Structure 1
Amino acid sequence: MLNKIKGALFGFAIGDALGGTTEFLTKEAVKERYGQVREIIGGGVWRLEKGETTDDTAMTLAVGRGILKNPQNPVSAIGEEFLKWNASKPKDIGNIIQTVFEIYEGNWFEASKKAHFHYLNEKSAGNGSLMRCLPVALAYKDAKKVEEITKLQSKMSHYDVLAEEACVIYNRIAFHILQGMPLREAITNNITGSIYEEALKGKTPACPPDGFVVNTMRWVLYWLLKEDTFLGVVMGAANEGYDSDTVAAIAGGLAGLQFGFEELPNDYCQVLLPKNELEQLALELDHFFKGE
């Protein structure tokens, strides 16, 4: 179990670090500038240090820590972790989340709703809650609890139901992989009958891999179904450009969960700057999941 949980968190962060180099570039610009990004090198729009990750990993760690502080009702604890992270003046905060932070007055759900209707022109279907939801599926044994907390953590900042739906489907897939179901079977079972069922045909998505949550999820599923190796998944997503850190991170989380930490390339794991925090969270989630 620890191998899977640790694989998910490190796989996520590797995707984030690889994609952070190419974020906001087009696929053509990535090719022109780098040829192909195959190593964690930093740089990019955020001038990342080698091994540095972005808001995707930071908020994922925040969700995991919040759950462990108050597992039955973690919203306020997750929120405290969000505020702590925001106070650290991070390089990168998504527009929707930044808006919610600015108008937050003690109730995350009110801030989320207000942001959606009064500040974001009813456009809060970004991928910011999808990028951080994975720890929910790694923490709880009960599928209903996973779904409940997944929805709540999404609604804390993203009012649009499309964001919530993507998070639920993603964490259902993660939950089933953690229970031993193969990744492809878990994907098939959980996207059949949904707006993402088209991904099973294996065609390249007819949309950019941008910050719209539906587009992000389509590209995540594409890479997971197209590639048979962990590095194939995260490198494919990273070299596609656009919101590449988030797509590669989200896809890398499920790929890492499937393959397990022991199958991940050690040099990629060791270069990650937050490796100690990832290791600690993995250990604590493993203890919690086992009821220790």
Structure 2
Amino acid sequence: MTKRAATGALIGLALGDALGFPTEFNDVPSILAKTGPWREMQLPHPAIVTDDTQMTLALARGMRTATERGPIGPLRLARPVREEFVDWYHSPENNRAPGNTCLKACSLLNLPERDWRDASQVG
């Protein structure tokens, strides 16, 4: 994928996430009552950058770092992705109510005694 295509995909993801944010966890009748038909939905003002978008961008940055270091594989990918998620975990921008599972996973990634190369430590 070219840099341009990746950027477009990430912008599309962020816009879709911002459109869905006001109705997250609502059922279809509630969503239709709030927004009308989906093809007529307007981008909320302000459009919110959600925790899901932030985590997707962290993953993308980690992948970019890994690919800059050579052919991508699990071991080359693990460290930069881990570092991006730990950075996001500590960021003051991480204030959009991420779920407990995400926060717990990032807190575990943050522990220096949990060596990212040892899969037996998962759990």
Whether these two folds match at TM > 0.5 is yes
Trace 1:195-206 onto structure 2 (pairs within 5 A): none
TM-score w.r.t. the length of structure 2 is 0.70
Q: Secondary structure at the match of 1:7?
A: helix
Q: CA RMSD in A?
A: 2.3
For structure 1, the residue ranges without an aligned partner over 5 or more in a row are 43-49, 115-292
1:57 and 2:53 are equivalent in the alignment:
yes
Percent of matched pairs sharing the same residue: 30
SS at match of 1:70: helix
- Counterpart of 1:95, as a letter, is N
TM-score by length of 1: 0.33
| 1:28 alignment counterpart | 29
Mapping 1:217-256, distance limit 5 Å: none
What's the counterpart of residue 74 of structure 1? 77
Alignment gaps of 5+ in structure 2: none
Q: Does 1:107 align with 2:107?
A: no
How many angstroms apart in 2 are the aligned matches of 1:36 and 1:110?
48
Aligned residues: 106
CA gap of 1:101–1:110, structure 2 versus 1, over 3 A, is farther
Instruction: Assess if the C-alpha contact under 8 Å between 2:14 and 2:49 holds in 1.
Output: yes
Change (3 A) 1:110 1:32: farther
Residues 62 and 80, structure 2, Cα contact 8 Å, conserved in 1: yes
The residue aligned with 2:13 is: 12
2 CA distance for matches of 1:2 and 1:77?
18
Q: CA deviation at 1:64?
A: 1.7
Q: Which shows bigger deviation, 33-42 or 3-12?
A: 33-42
Equivalents in 1 of 2:88, 2:77: separation in Å?
16
Q: Distance in 2 between matches of 1:110 and 1:94?
A: 25
Q: Higher relative CO (CA 8 A, sep ≥ 6), structure 1 or 2?
A: 1
Contact (CA 8 Å) 2:61, 2:81: kept in 1 or not?
A: yes
CA distance in structure 2 between the aligned counterparts of 1:2 and 1:100, rounded to whole angstroms: 29
Amino acid at match of 1:4: A
